[in-house]
Amino acid sequence: RLLQRSPRRVHNPANATLIFVPVFEFTSSKLGRCEGTTHESRMRSAQTALRATPSWQHSYGERHVFASTAYSSKSVNSIFRERLEPLAADLTLGIVGRHKQGIGLLSRHRTSS
């Protein structure tokens, strides 16, 4: 709610410094099958929707940020990427944050698809 009232918030993505991507990969993976969809189909739908936005087409994720509520793990990068597939390759230029002590991920490189 605070962000919704922020004087720095813009309503035109072209004017945004950062763009929040509301993808909840951990919740989706734990939910499993729901209303005829699977985790994989939801991640694929998120990928399709994200790729269709003008802001994505302009920056390919360089200004996009998303958050994960995933648990801590030594192998969190591989688990995290696995849960995001097929969306993971598209979000490698994005920034991922986690509001839990002990872990923070930042990816600023593109991987081959």
Residues 83, 85, 91, 96, Cα dihedral to 10°: 0
In a domain, 108, yes or no: no
Q: Which residue has the tokens 């951990």?
A: 26
For the cut 50, the answer to whether the pLDDT of residue 112 exceeds it is: no
pLDDT of residue 70: 66
Binning pLDDT at 50, 70 and 90, where does residue 49 land? very high
- pLDDT by residue (tens digit) across 52-94? 999 888 887 888 887 776 655 555 566 667 777 777 777 665 5
* Angstrom distance (rounded) from CA 59 to CA 80: 23
Structural domain count of the chain = 1
- pLDDT by residue (tens digit) across 3-47? 788 888 898 888 888 888 888 888 888 888 999 999 999 999 999
Residue ranges making up the domain that contains 73: 2-97
pTM (2 d.p.): 0.64
Compute the Cα dihedral for 107, 82, 75, 72 and give only its sign: positive
Give φ, ψ of 43 to 5 degrees: -65, -35
In a domain, 75, yes or no: yes
The residue ranking higher by pLDDT, 111 or 38, is 38
* Angstrom distance (rounded) from CA 97 to CA 34: 26
Cis before 54? omega within 30: no
The residue ranking higher by pLDDT, 71 or 104, is 71
- Residue 95's beta-bridge partner residues? 65
* Angstrom distance (rounded) from CA 108 to CA 99: 19
